Amino acid sequence: MSQVENQLGPEGQPAEIPFQQDRPFGEPAKLGPAGRLMGTLMSPGETFLDINRKPTIIAPIIIAMITGIGLALFLNWQAKPDWKQIARTVIVRQSEKLGTKPTPEQLEQQINISAKIDQFLPAIYALFTPIAFLIGSGALPMGMLLLQPKTTFKRVLSVFAWVNCSVGLVNAIVAAASLMVRDAQSLKPQDYFNPWGIAPTNLSYLLADDASQVLRTLFSSLDVFSIWKILLLIVGLAAIAGTRKITTAKTATLVIGLWLLIVIIGLGFAALGFGAQQ
């Protein structure tokens, strides 16, 4: 049988040719870490196809760790946060929400322990960044299973890691710039457990000072950088899905649904005294 006949189906009709992404890529990756870092932001479509050829995880995690440590060190140097006062505010607010009333001795003990931990914020970022990436990307493969993709957990994790480290780097630069142009007094009530939220990039900055914690957390979730991550993840997951049946509309349903779940969980913590501050 000739080659032409092999490509013909019944009654001489062309046989269905598998979608290109259904077959493994033969060509090597074209972009290095720097190229992927910039490409995720500037040309995501091409970059995610390159990640599909050869997913990488270590490089974006290291970049994210360095970014977090650098921002935390810069925050300590520029803002000089009063960790004891911050710990006191958080603990007292949580006690009021939970209906508990620690004795003065217990309160001071909790404040001292919390303040000591807070001083090691850079080390905490270094330790928990890879853990946060694994947890954050863990839900995506489970959701992708419902869409029946032809991809791997490593590819999903790689997309998640590059999106978060790239957008996180820009977010950190904006936060550092915001620290530099603000006076020390305006920085005192900031939520230093989330240094990326220092810059006015979300709707919580439109709320009055006496707005509820739940409302502030809800408005904080409507952040420019969060939306940017969502859009990139939608494009990235569709690019590595391995089949044209999984469109950006389907990955958008998955990503936005998981984001809404995270927002709801955050609102629950806010109701208990945890959450965004300003």
DSSP-assigned states of every residue in 49-69 = HHHHHS---HHHHHHHHHHHH
Average pLDDT over residues 17-28: 46
* Inter-residue contact 153 to 133 (CB < 8 Å): no
Confidence (pTM):
0.76
pLDDT band at 14; cut points 50, 70, 90: very low
Tens digit of pLDDT for each residue in 43-80?
A: 999 999 999 999 999 999 999 999 988 888 888 788 77
pLDDT at 17 over 50: no
pLDDT at 10 over 60: no
Q: What is the pLDDT of residue 188?
A: 63
Q: What is the pLDDT of residue 253?
A: 92
Tens digit of pLDDT for each residue in 196-229?
A: 567 788 888 787 767 777 888 888 888 999 999 9
Report which listed range, 49-63, 142-156, 197-211, 259-273, is most confident.
49-63
DSSP-based three-state secondary structure for 133: helix
Closest CA to 200 of 190, 185, 209, 215: 190
pLDDT at 254 over 60: yes
Average pLDDT over residues 24-43: 83
Closest CA to 73 of 113, 107, 119: 119
* Burial of residue 34, with CB atoms counted within 10 A of its CB: 0-12 exposed, 13-18 middle, 19 or more buried: exposed
* Inter-residue contact 13 to 7 (CB < 8 Å): no
Token code pair at residue 168: 């996180």
pLDDT at 126 over 90: no
Average pLDDT over the chain reads 79
Give the least confident one: 5-19, 55-69, 98-112, 169-183. 5-19
Q: What is the pLDDT of residue 184?
A: 65
Q: What is the pLDDT of residue 220?
A: 85
